[in-house]
Amino acid sequence: MPYEVEIDAVDENEWARLLPLFEDATIYQSWAYAQIRWGAKQVSHLVLREGSTVVAMAQLRVVTLPIPNTGVAYVRWGPLWRRRGSPASFKVFYRMMSALIEEYAKRRGLLLRVIPHAYTGDAEEAEVSNCLKDLSFRTAETVPAYTTVRVDLRPTLEELRARLHRKWRNHLNSAERGGLSIVERTDNDSFDTFVQLYGELLARKRFNSNVDVEQFRLIQRALPEDLKMRVLLCYKGAEPLSAVVLSAIGGTGIYLLGATGAQGMKDRGAYLLQWQALEWLRSRHCNYYDLGGIDAVENPGVYEFKTRMGGPGVRQLPAVEFGGNLLSNTLMGLAERLTLRQIWRPRRGVA
């Protein structure tokens, strides 16, 4: 059956309906994320159909310069091509990447840059890398690789608990005996409570974060209910101690944001929150929990906390690019060195 390519033909409701059908879907490919982060004028959507079935899709940020046919098209954690409940089709992946090249690099003359949602060691790694090589993609050397801890959620809860580092498990046991309670919500008030705790965290540690929690608050309000981030709040009595913000759209849950107040540090609320996060993600049929990035140098305490949760450190496949016209390549290389590297720089607390 022949493939059909559609450019900017779906609306927000249809995109929201299609997104959870893909194992590799994340909040970074959600309509709300793009609209809030980049603005409607910089967003484009490509859908690949085989007959009546959508087999792949991608949301892109398109940044153009005043010179015609000059700019860059970014795909963050995409394209989406692994449908849930179906075996991975590398024919679909190859055809989807070809469609992206034809539309954005060849027809529009843009530099096409892609961060695949795949990791070294995954079953798909070799085939994905070979496809990209066959299509003449090259590694985007200026884009830092994303490294994280990823917990496999497919074992039983008993097995997952046994995999925790002994000290981590002891802190969890202590938190469970400490009279704490966990509330799971998606409403605006719960997100506001998280923002309050986050502000207290910044004031206590006296550092400026490059995470825009206000932007995430707006994204939460714009997401449809079934795609909303989940806010887990840890209370002692009526007092909120700690909070985490998760997203679970595809087969991988992602830790996006976290905050702990001074009392929460004493009561080990973060340990109970993360354990509850594991349980909730398993109930959503997620296979993995991405702990939102690690940096042993910049944030050694968080690095230790995450690496003791029973998952291996993994590295995302490197960003790749396909050159558009010579002018796009030259000017966007210069622009990136001056301003655009912020788009790809890993954010503390954000995947």
pLDDT single digits (tens) 40-96? 999 999 999 999 999 999 999 999 888 777 889 999 999 999 999 999 999 999 999
Of 95-99, 152-156, 256-260, which range is least confident? 256-260
Distance CA 162, CA 166 (A): 9
Predicted TM-score (pTM) of the model is 0.90
Confidence of residue 208 (pLDDT cuts 50, 70, 90): low
Domain boundaries, the chain: 3-145+317-343, 149-313
Residue range 297-309, pLDDT digits in tens: 888 989 999 999 9
Cβ of 240: how many Cβ atoms within 10 Å? 22
The reply to whether domains 3-145+317-343 and 149-313 share a CATH topology is: yes
Nearest by Cα to 191 from 213, 207, 210:
213
Give me 31's structure tokens: 């309509």
User: Which architecture characterizes domain 3-145+317-343 according to CATH?
Assistant: 3-Layer(aba) Sandwich (3.40)
- Predicted confidence at residue 348, as pLDDT, reads 39
Look up the CATH superfamily of 149-313: Gcn5-related N-acetyltransferase (GNAT) (3.40.630.30)
Share of the chain above pLDDT 70, in %: 89
Confidence of residue 330 (pLDDT cuts 50, 70, 90): low
pLDDT at 6 over 70: yes
